[in-house]
Amino acid sequence: MMAAMSHFTLLAWGAWCILCVVWMSGYVADRRAGVPARLTPHLGLQVAASVLLLFAFALLLRPNLRGLAAAVTPQNALLGTLGALLAVAGVAWAIWARLMLGLNWSGLVMQVKARHELVQTGPYAIVRHPIYTGILAAVLGTALTLGKLASYLAVAAALVALLTRVEIEERMMAAEFGEAHAAYRRRTRKLIPFVW
- Give dist(CA 97, CA 3) in Å, integer: 34
Decide if 82 contacts 8 (C-beta within 8 A): no
| CATH code: domain of residue 146 | 1.20.120.1630
The type of residue at 108 is: L
Decide if 165 contacts 26 (C-beta within 8 A): no
Q: 173: closest CA among 110, 122, 114? A: 110
Is 134 within a domain?
yes
User: Each residue of 114-139: pLDDT tens digit?
Assistant: 778 899 999 999 999 999 999 999 99
Is 35 within a domain?
no
Is 105 within a domain?
yes
Is 139 within a domain?
yes
Count of domains observed in the chain? 1
Q: 104: closest CA among 16, 29, 183, 46? A: 29
User: Each residue of 66-91: pLDDT tens digit?
Assistant: 889 999 999 999 999 999 999 999 99
Pairing label, strands 111-113, 37-39? antiparallel
Domain holding 88, by residue range, is 40-187
Highest mean pLDDT among 26-30, 37-41, 97-101: 97-101
Is 5 within a domain?
no
